[in-house]
Chain A
Amino acid sequence: DAGVTQSPTHLIKTRGQQVTLRCSPKSGHDTVSWYQQALGQGPQFIFQYYEEEERQRGNFPDRFSGHQFPNYSSELNVNALLLGDSALYLCASSRQGARTEAFFGQGTRLTVV
Chain B
Amino acid sequence: GENVEQHPSTLSVQEGDSAVIKCTYSDSASNYFPWYKQELGKRPQLIIDIRSNVGEKKDQRIAVTLNKTAKHFSLHITETQPEDSAVYFCAASSTRGSTLGRLYFGRGTQLTVWP
Contact = CB atoms under 8 A, between A and B. Distances in A.
Contacts, number: 63
Contact of B42 (A43, A92, A100, A106): A106
Interface in B1-59: 4, 6, 32, 34, 36, 42-46, 49
Interface residues of A, number: 28
B100 interface: yes
Interface residues of B, number: 26
A86 interface: no
A104 B43 contact: yes
Given A90-B43, A106-B43, A100 B108 contact: no
Contacts of A58: 102
A73 interface: no
Interface in B63-77: none
Interface of A: 4, 31, 33, 35, 40-45, 48, 55-56, 58, 90, 92, 94, 96, 98-107
